[in-house]
Amino acid sequence: MSGDAPGHWLGAYMERYGQLPTADQLCAFARHQGGRVVYRLASSLLAKGEAELERTLTRASSWSVKLEDRAGLERWTVPVLQRFKSEKCERNPRPHEPKVAACRTRVSRSLVRQVLAMSYRRFAEKEAKAKTVESFGMSADHSLRDAMERCSVCLEHRSCFRATGDCEDRACPGWFCQACFQKHVATVIEGTRFSVPVVKCPGCFGFVSPSCWQRLVGEDLKEMWADNAKDLLSLRCGECDDPGTLLEPGIEEAAFSRGEALELAFSTVSQADSVELASQWDRFAKGEESAGAILATLVNVWCPDEADHPPISFFKSFGAAMSLVEDPGLRAVIQLAALRRFPKTVTKCCEAEHCFKCKVATHHEGLTCEEVQERLMPEDVQFCPSCGVATIKSEGCNHIICLCGQDWTWEGEEVWAAEWNE
């Protein structure tokens, strides 16, 4: 959308939301779409002529006309002019001295341009402040537009939709009926046990966020997705020998509220870091940012001087932050990035010390993970470079595909069953 005319933004807003916007809503909408609508509105509407402008400003001078009764320029300028006047009176209360009629139009034209520019800046500042870390971990609210199209999978002409709203921005040619898209998601999730796979659009192969595809599938797939997240971080306790998971519970299962978790995790975070974390979370939820990047930002915010060996307070804040992540799959991915960087952890059942990378019931102080693995494992065991799971190859080629989805090359000669007796 080019946005060269104000009507384009108004039409786009009404098409998406089905209602007439206020000035604030339209400005915010246009800013998100990359347009500077307030300046275009000013230029377009002011260009309609001196007579119309004079009539508009005359009507607006009373400040008592209802917004829905205004037309043209006053619909967008009167609200901000009224706020401008009120704020100015609060700062410097004094009688208003009206301009003479001969120069009123010229002065008012300048005032309109200045106030619209100021209004745009205030809208931007307001949105920046609103986009704080309070939104960290929240799933986006997706609304998918359906239409009678030919399904790109079954080729039947029926009610279809795109896999995600971002597909329109990617010029995706695919349209899918709900049955075919459910089968696509089921195939991806059921075929990648013990991992959290990336669901991609079958049409453009772009990322589809979990909060989007979960609106279209049944409860069984949602439960399987949650179980996969737990299995990804599974760890058998060395004290009680019970299999468990290191996945932090969501806020609905936690012992504190979302507000308390926000206070525990981000009470000391600056405004600038808060905005950055919120923006980074938005990118991560859309598949545009890695879990490692979010982890690096959190480490830099909480303990910039102890990035290699974070204090205990880091893990308390990190646990609270993870409880804020509503989707278990995304939560597991961020936690996995943390466990790869800081593998020394404790089990939830007995708080027994374990190394997640080595899968041993000790923090093996003084020894690196590589040294521990060399001592404990036989020579025919190698480790997945992604999740660190111990792997034994019985036969076949040296191309290994781990359960976590990572493919890697086995070091050594290829061995085939037919050669065992030779």
**Domain extent at residue 216:** 146-232
Q: Where would I find the H helices in 286-405?
A: 291-302, 312-323, 328-341, 369-376
Asked if the structure places residue 141 within a domain, the reply is no
Question: What is the token pair recorded at 221?
Answer: 């797939």
Q: CA 195 to CA 201: how far, in whole Å?
A: 19
Asked if the structure places residue 303 within a domain, the reply is yes
Same domain, 278 and 217: no
Q: Give the list of residues 6+ apart from residue 74 with CB closer than 8 angstroms, or none.
A: 56, 57, 59, 60, 65
For the whole model, what pTM was predicted? 0.62
For the chain, state the CA radius of gyration. 29
Q: What is the residue type of 184? A: H
Report the number of distinct structural domains present in the chain: 4
Same domain, 253 and 329: yes
Q: CA 368 to CA 72: how far, in whole Å?
A: 71
Long-range CB contacts (within 8 A, 24+) of 115-119: 115/77, 115/80, 115/81, 115/84, 116/38, 116/39, 116/41, 116/42, 116/76, 116/77, 116/80, 117/38, 117/39, 118/80, 118/84, 119/23, 119/27, 119/38, 119/80
Same domain, 17 and 112: yes
Same domain, 193 and 121: no
Among 232, 257, 287, residue at a domain's last position: 232
Same domain, 10 and 125: yes
Same domain, 65 and 156: no
Same domain, 323 and 395: no
Q: CA 79 to CA 96: how far, in whole Å?
A: 19
Asked if the structure places residue 371 within a domain, the reply is no
Asked if the structure places residue 60 within a domain, the reply is yes
Same domain, 293 and 226: no
B/e letters for 349-361, b = 16+ CB within 10 Å, e = fewer, are ebebbbbbbbbbb
Are 233 and 336 in contact, with CB atoms under 8 Å apart?
A: yes
Are 53 and 73 in contact, with CB atoms under 8 Å apart?
A: yes
* 3-class SS of residue 163: coil
Asked if the structure places residue 72 within a domain, the reply is yes
Closest CA to 284 of 139, 172, 170: 139
Same domain, 25 and 124: yes
Same domain, 15 and 125: yes
What DSSP designation does 68 have?
G
pLDDT digit string (tens) for the chain, length 422 residues: 444 445 566 777 777 777 777 766 776 666 666 544 444 555 555 555 555 555 554 554 444 334 344 444 444 444 444 444 444 454 455 544 444 444 444 445 666 666 666 666 666 555 554 557 788 988 877 667 788 999 999 999 999 988 777 787 788 889 999 999 999 999 999 887 778 999 999 999 999 999 889 988 899 999 999 999 999 999 888 888 888 899 999 988 887 888 899 999 998 888 888 888 988 998 899 888 999 999 999 999 898 877 667 778 888 999 999 999 999 999 999 999 999 999 999 998 898 999 998 888 888 888 888 888 777 766 677 878 777 777 877 667 888 888 777 788 887 766 544 444 44
Instruction: Say which CATH number the domain at 175 has.
Output: 3.30.40.10
Closest CA to 232 of 362, 368, 402: 402
